[in-house]
Amino acid sequence: MTATVAVSVVPERPAALAGMPRLPWTWAAAGLFALVICCAVGVLVGPIHIGVGAVLQALVGGQVDPGQANILWSLRFPRVVLGVLVGGTLAVSGAAYQGVFRNPLADPYLLGAAAGANLGATLAIAFAPGTSLLGVNIVPLAAFVGAGAAVAGAYALGRSVTGLRSATGLILAGVAIAAFFNSIQSYVQQTQTASIRQVYSWILGRLVTAGWDDVLLILPYVILSAAAIFVHRRLLDALTLGEDEVTSLGIPVRRVRLIVVVAATLGTAAVVAVAGTIAFVGIIVPHAIRLLIGRSYRVVIPLSMLFGAAFLVLADAGARTVVAPAELPIGVITAFLGAPFFIAVMRSTRAAAL
Amino acid sequence: MSDVVLAGVSVAYDGAPVVCDLDLSVASGEWLALIGPNGAGKTTILRAIARLVPFRGAISIGSRALTELSSREVARQVAVLVQEPQMPVGMTVSQYVLLGRAPHLGYLGKESARDRGIVRDVVRRLSMEELASRPLDRLSGGERQRAAIARALAQQAPVLLIDEPTSSLDVGRQQSVLELIDQLRREQELTVIAAMHELTLAGQYADRLALLVDGRLAAVGLAAEVLTERAITEHYRAQVRVIQMNGSGTAVVPVRN
């Protein structure tokens, strides 16, 4: 009997160190899978039954009933794509704000983006209903301008007071600007009672689309915003250190903060312009990922994109079916599904990592 | 060469002077302890050398003026161990030490295999491999201090600034942290400038002591020269007995009358 002993003559490569930050590929694959499933649900759910076969045929350009093809291409596909963009952007912007402001309660609307968008949209609905500018409905444009103006105002105010040394100054400035914009919005809303219902439905958020217009309108901003935040994920990790410590590592803290805030705001403004203010996605998605998977922004940012998109598409499918043929505001669904889910996650992880 | 020279350095916070016209030079490979009562300006001097606070006068490292360097270049010359390092919840030791490589990366750069290799070596050198994937919030006080030292070492800067390295540790851990810093200093030829409040330990580990009072240098020299009963009584308003121990330094013992 001969025993063979394998003798390694090749010098072993030193083993990689445990605990290095990396995106677990199983979770990335799970996120992609969830996104695909949710998109399929979003496309298949609707008042008119369209089978999986017809959907696949339509996607590859095969033979489909013209009526069904029309429903798919002008209603369901654009709506699902819009849901992907809106959900991914809200979740990533929320994660980015939480990182920059080191505040777990930061959401994409923190610096007044929602108040500004609501005011812009209210003004447009009340005083210029049905108007369009360069072929685009004026309501999302007004909302976009309003959101941008509110955040720029908060930024200018925060900068003049604290010189951006502290994130708290910026948050307080955002609170003040939001309160001011909200008061004007309430005033306009109360005095223009004819449009109050339309204003409310806008504020509660929805993904009603007229074909691909909204998708194309926000696509450039959403891509720019997501890409800018994505490339800063290593620096967002560094920002979790103390101010002196990050600076002593040669990292330009203020520049990182400025770029990430601008990027997250741009994406939020674009999204809120077409979908209204959809609550909760920007908070629960990143936090669920932190609790269940990992806290490094190399994990949180990419997975927030995938799971945020999947969650919103699913919530929208719910919003369309729960009280069909009527539609619920999607914000109602995100909070109704999101809150219990988040409570379950917090309880199951015993909030050890909070 | 990584000697540190301060010439006529003054620092003011909101117009109030904290450090006044300070001249100090630290030789390459030397350990200088900054001592002095609370509020004497020890931390502020460290912050100035790391260029974390604006200053008047000149500071140079290895004969290059600090003001000529970019902030990334400063970070490659000077590593800072703050008094209470922020330990982000859920961050692993490896990830934390990896942050020390930041000064060697471009703005949007990614750590290379070499960076990860350096982190692995540093973690191994400090015998923290077992803790590599443990979150920082589950480390003991001494382990946290070692993690912070590891992060500073991964920076590979020739100058190490330390603010109160042992403030929250018991006497045994104080000694082991200081021994570790001293070993690393000799191995890697680091220049160490440390603000220290334990006078006896400062005298035992540092080559020289600089006594600061109200932002000015009151004395600088060997432990036996700086740690005198008269100086400590005067500047700390303390009742002490100073005892020269054969071959093991100068002991400063508080007494009660």
Q: Residue A102's pLDDT is what?
A: 81
Residue A21 contacts B where some CB pair is shorter than 8 Å: yes
Other CB atoms within a 10 A radius of the CB of residue A99 amount to 27
Q: Residue A166's pLDDT is what?
A: 67
Q: Which residues in chain A have their CB less than 8 angstroms from residue B134's CB?
A: 19
In whole angstroms, what is the distance from residue B80 CA to residue B161 CA? Answer: 5
Q: Residue A267's pLDDT is what?
A: 92
DSSP-derived secondary structure for A49-106:
---HHHHHHHHHT----HHHHHHIIIIIHHHHHHHHHHHHHHHHHHHHHHHHHT-TT-
Question: Among residues 210-249 of chain A, which lie with CB inside 8 Å of chain B?
Answer: 231-232, 234-235, 237-238, 240-242, 244-245, 247-249
Mean pLDDT per 10-residue run, chain B (257 residues)? 90 91 95 94 95 94 92 95 90 94 91 92 90 91 91 94 86 89 92 94 94 94 92 91 85 88
DSSP A210: S
- Complex-level ipTM: 0.91
Residue A130 contacts B where some CB pair is shorter than 8 Å: no
Other CB atoms within a 10 A radius of the CB of residue B230 amount to 8
Helix ranges, chain A (H): 25-44, 52-60, 66-71, 77-101, 113-127, 138-162, 167-191, 196-204, 213-231, 233-238, 243-248, 253-275, 281-292, 297-321, 330-348
Q: Residue A1's pLDDT is what?
A: 43
Structure tokens belonging to residue B77:
């010359």
Query: Each residue of A56-80: pLDDT tens digit?
Result: 888 888 788 888 888 888 889 999 9
Residue A296 contacts B where some CB pair is shorter than 8 Å: yes
| pTM given for the model | 0.87
Among candidate residues A28, A90, A96, the one with its CA nearest the CA of residue A309: A90
Q: Map chain B to HEC letters.
A: CCCEEEEEEEEEECCEEEEEEEEEEECCCCEEEEECCCCCCHHHHHHHHCCCCCCEEEEEECCEEHHHCCHHHHHHHEEEECCCCCCCCCCEHHHHHHHHHHHHCCCCCCCCHHHHHHHHHHHHHCCCHHHCCCEHHHCCHHHHHHHHHHHHHHCCCCEEEEECCCCCCCHHHHHHHHHHHHHHHHHHCCEEEEECCCHHHHHHHCCEEEEEECCEEEEEECHHHHCCHHHHHHHHCCCEEEEECCCCCEEEEECCC
Choice between B153 and A47, residue whose per-residue pLDDT is larger: B153
Query: Each residue of A83-94: pLDDT tens digit?
Result: 999 999 999 999
Q: Which residues in chain B have their CB less than 8 angstroms from residue A19's CB?
A: 92-95, 132-134
Q: CA B199 from chain center: how many Å?
A: 15
Tokens 């979003």 appear where? A42
Burial class (CB in 10 A: 0-12, 13-18, 19+), B160: buried
> Taking CA atoms, what residue in A is nearest to B93?
A19
Tokens 């303390």 appear where? B238
A302: cis peptide before it, omega within 30°? Answer: no
Choice between A128 and B182, residue whose per-residue pLDDT is larger: B182
Q: Residue A79's pLDDT is what?
A: 92
Q: Which residues in chain B have their CB less than 8 angstroms from residue A236's CB?
A: none
Are B73 and A250 within 8 A, CB to CB?
Answer: yes
Query: Each residue of A300-330: pLDDT tens digit?
Result: 999 999 999 999 999 999 988 888 778 888 8
SS3 A132: strand
- For residue B124, the one-letter residue type is R
Among candidate residues A225, A258, A252, A305, the one with its CA nearest the CA of residue A151: A258
Least confident of A228-232, A339-343, B82-86: A339-343
Structure tokens belonging to residue B177:
């942290």
Residue A19 contacts B where some CB pair is shorter than 8 Å: yes
Are A19 and B93 within 8 A, CB to CB?
Answer: yes
Structure tokens belonging to residue B206:
């540092």
Q: Which residues in chain B have their CB less than 8 angstroms from residue A290's CB?
A: 90
Strand partners, B196: none
Best mutation site among B77, B83, B87, B94 for testing chain A: the one with the most A CBs within 10 Å? B94
Structure tokens belonging to residue B115:
């960076």
Structure tokens belonging to residue B33:
């302890």
In whole angstroms, what is the distance from residue B22 CA to residue A244 CA? Answer: 22
Q: Which residues in chain A have their CB less than 8 angstroms from residue B75's CB?
A: 248-250
Are A250 and B90 within 8 A, CB to CB?
Answer: no
- Over range A328-338, report the average pLDDT: 84
Residues 6 or more apart whose CB falls under 8 angstroms from that of A283 comprise A94, A105, A107
Other CB atoms within a 10 A radius of the CB of residue B222 amount to 13
Q: Which residues in chain A have their CB less than 8 angstroms from residue B72's CB?
A: 250
Are the C-beta atoms of B49 and B25 separated by less than 8 Å?
Answer: no
Residue A59 contacts B where some CB pair is shorter than 8 Å: no
In whole angstroms, what is the distance from residue B56 CA to residue B47 CA? Answer: 13
Among candidate residues B184, B131, B102, the one with its CA nearest the CA of residue A17: B131
Best mutation site among B46, B47, B89, B129 for testing chain A: the one with the most A CBs within 10 Å? B89
Q: Which residues in chain B have their CB less than 8 angstroms from residue A250's CB?
A: 70-76, 102-103
Choice between A296 and A158, residue whose per-residue pLDDT is larger: A296
> Taking CA atoms, what residue in A is nearest to B72?
A250
Residues 6 or more apart whose CB falls under 8 angstroms from that of B180 comprise B126, B146, B149
Does an H or E element contain A324, and which? none
Mean pLDDT for all residues in chain A? 85
Cβ-nearest to B119 among A17, A235, A240: A17
Choice between A50 and A163, residue whose per-residue pLDDT is larger: A50
Structure tokens belonging to residue A112:
């007044």
Are A18 and B132 within 8 A, CB to CB?
Answer: yes
Q: Which residues in chain A have their CB less than 8 angstroms from residue B98's CB?
A: 20-21
Question: Among residues 118-157 of chain B, which lie with CB inside 8 Å of chain A?
Answer: 119-120, 123, 129, 132-135, 155
In whole angstroms, what is the distance from residue A118 CA to residue A187 CA? Answer: 12
Cβ-nearest to B108 among A231, A244, A247: A231
- Over range A191-198, report the average pLDDT: 80
* Nearest-CA distance B13 → chain A (Å): 14
Q: Residue A13's pLDDT is what?
A: 55
Are A244 and B103 within 8 A, CB to CB?
Answer: no
Indicate the length of chain A as a whole number: 354
Q: Which residues in chain A have their CB less than 8 angstroms from residue B132's CB?
A: 17-19
Residue A12 contacts B where some CB pair is shorter than 8 Å: no
Q: Residue A256's pLDDT is what?
A: 93
Among candidate residues B98, B99, B33, the one with its CA nearest the CA of residue B252: B33
Structure tokens belonging to residue B196:
């220290």
Angstrom distances, CA of residue B101 to CA of A246, A254, A305, B116: 12, 20, 27, 9
* Nearest-CA distance A221 → chain B (Å): 21
Q: Which residues in chain A have their CB less than 8 angstroms from residue B111's CB?
A: 234
Q: Residue A8's pLDDT is what?
A: 46
Structure tokens belonging to residue A310:
């999947």
* Nearest-CA distance B43 → chain A (Å): 12
Q: Which residues in chain B have their CB less than 8 angstroms from residue A162's CB?
A: none
* Nearest-CA distance B211 → chain A (Å): 25
- Over range A139-145, report the average pLDDT: 84
> Taking CA atoms, what residue in B is nearest to A252?
B71
Residue A351 contacts B where some CB pair is shorter than 8 Å: no
Are B79 and A248 within 8 A, CB to CB?
Answer: yes
Residue A353 contacts B where some CB pair is shorter than 8 Å: yes
* Nearest-CA distance A286 → chain B (Å): 14
